[in-house]
Amino acid sequence: MRTPEDGGTGRAFEVTFDGRPVEALPGRTVAAVLWAAGVTSWRTTRDGGRPRGVFCGIGVCFDCLVTVNGRPNQRACLVPARPGDVIRTQEGTGHED
């Protein structure tokens, strides 16, 4: 397979994940950007504090919830990454409680 890293038509841009810069390609979801950066978990559960990431990959399971630009509970597998996005690991409900 020809991968986009071999030279896609879109220009790479930067987002941050928990404060560190991550390269993103246009059209990729937040989940795809994080997978490409080798990150597989970006949420901890409410009760057990266990790590979670993508499970169903098509917006059904809500396991990949993440905080993007301060808004928690975004499905990383659906939300497209945009230049400058501030992506943060979501702890529990994502709200301070």
Partner 1 sequence: MRTDLAVIGAGPAGIAAALAAARRGIRVALADAAPGPGGQYFRQPAPGLGAEGAVPRNARRTWTRLRDALAASTVDVRPEHHVWCVERESGRLTVHALLGPEQRASVELRADAVLLATGGYETVLPFPGWTLPGVVTAGGAQAMLKGGLVTPGHTVVVAGTGPLLLPVATGLAAAGVRVAALVESTDPARLPRHARALAGKLPEAAGYAARLLRHRVPVLTRHTVVRAHGEERLTGVTVAALDARGRVRPGTERLLPCDALAVGHGMLPHTDLAETLGCRLDGHAVAVDAEQRTDVPGVWAAGEATGVGGAALALAEGHIAGRSIAARLRGTAPDTDTWAPAARARARGRTAAAALHALHSPPAHWGEDVPDDTVICRCEEVTAGAVREALTLGAGDTRTVKLLTRAGMGWCQGRVCAPGVAAVTGCPPAPARRPFARPVPLGVLAAQHDRTTPHDDHPRPEEGSP
Name the residues that contact partner 1, by CB under 8 A. Answer: 1-4, 7-10, 25-29, 31-32, 35-36, 40-41, 45-48, 50-63, 65, 77-80
Whether 77 contacts 58, CB under 8 Å: yes
Whether 83 contacts 28, CB under 8 Å: no
CA dihedral 47, 88, 69, 20 (to 10 degrees): 170
* Shortest reach from residue 91's CB to partner 1, in Å: 14
* Shortest reach from residue 14's CB to partner 1, in Å: 15
Q: Which is nearer to partner 1, 1 or 20 (CB)?
A: 1
